[in-house]
Structure 1
Amino acid sequence: MINLFWPIIIVVIANTLYNISAKLIPAEVHPLASLSITYFTAAVLSIILFFITSENKNVITEIQKANWTAAALGFSIVGLEFGYIYIYRVGWNISTGSLVANISLACVLLIVGVFVYKENISLHQIFGMALCIIGLLLVTK
């Protein structure tokens, strides 16, 4: 059972730290200057963790195996983090800003899963999405 949930636990802990950090970025600093420090830190940590966890210690060989998705992920992460910084700068509370963003994301990904990846959708999922939309309406009123 732990094999199923340890990645979820990491995501929840990291996302909690992420949102607290995004909210606490000083208003005086330009968001992209702050993100430059963020990505430098992430790059250094990624390289260190690569050497700790990889059997093949040739990082250049591994980078050469990557495709366009690595760059696309980079673009999406910058947009995600820039958006989160501004969620808090425009006045969203930490308790609702992330909630609204993540519930909206879950609904969009359900639709993407059905139409792009031909995943099956159950009546429970449709009902859950409807509850999410009702929840969004209640939370944002």
Structure 2
Amino acid sequence: MSPFLPLATVIGCGVVYHVAQKASGAVSPWPVLTIAYGAAFAVALFMLGLGWWGRGDAVRWPAARDCVASLALGLAAFGIEAGFFFVYRSGWPLSSAQVITNLSVTAVLAVTGIMVFGEHLTGARAVGLALAAGGATLIARG
């Protein structure tokens, strides 16, 4: 598999995600999230039946530690979904809400990567974070 296919999938789905969130006229996020997670569940079951991306690999149930991580992932995804629902309903523009939230997450992950996983923050990455923060500031003010 090309290393660009997963990246293209994330980018394409991210665009659809934010446009759908912003375009939804629902008053409450709960029915919207029920339908969304029902669709995600159906797709996940389908993919599980195929094996990973249809390659036919053996599918094994995750270990206990991975199940805890899976639960955390599900709760975090739910929080992101509900959070963006309210962010967009409170008037944040599509063009800046996602940029500001993702930059904030990126900054926290940079620190987490260093402190928890022993990753290194190179000078180039530090400059990149600073430039991204400056860009997000300009977008938020515009």
Query: In the alignment, is the contact (CA less than 8 A) between 2:96 and 2:136 conserved in 1?
Result: no
Q: Does 1:11 align with 2:16?
A: no
Mark the CA change 1:43 to 1:136 in structure 2 (over 3 Å): closer, same or farther: same
Mark the CA change 1:37 to 1:57 in structure 2 (over 3 Å): closer, same or farther: farther
Per-residue deviation, residues 22-81 of structure 1 (Å, max 9, x unmatched): 1112143x10221011111111111011112354777xx626765211111110000011
Q: SS where residue 67 of structure 1 aligns?
A: helix
Q: Does 1:108 align with 2:117?
A: no
Map 1:38-77; keep pairs closer than 5 Å.
Answer: 38-54=36-52, 55=56, 62=61, 66-77=66-77
CA distance in 2, matches of 1:36, 1:64: 27
CA distance in 1, matches of 2:43, 2:130: 40
Query: In the alignment, is the contact (CA less than 8 A) between 2:26 and 2:32 conserved in 1?
Result: no
Which amino acid letter does the alignment assign opposite residue 11 of structure 1? V
What RMSD over aligned residues (CA atoms) do the two structures have, in Å?
2.0
Unaligned runs of 5+ in 2: none
Aligned length: 137
Per-residue deviation, residues 69-116 of structure 1 (Å, max 9, x unmatched): 111111000001111111211111111111111122212211111111
Select the residue among 22, 25, 31 that pairs with 2:29: 31
Q: Percent identity?
A: 25
Query: In the alignment, is the contact (CA less than 8 A) between 1:27 and 1:89 conserved in 2?
Result: no
Which amino acid letter does the alignment assign opposite residue 67 of structure 1? C
Q: Report how far residue 14 of structure 1 moved.
A: 0.5
Using the size of structure 2 for normalisation, the TM-score is 0.86
Mark the CA change 1:21 to 1:83 in structure 2 (over 3 Å): closer, same or farther: same
Query: In the alignment, is the contact (CA less than 8 A) between 1:31 and 1:82 conserved in 2?
Result: yes
Unaligned runs of 5+ in 1: none
Using the size of structure 1 for normalisation, the TM-score is 0.86
Query: In the alignment, is the contact (CA less than 8 A) between 1:51 and 1:57 conserved in 2?
Result: no
Q: Which has the higher contact order (CA 8 A, sep 6+)?
A: 1
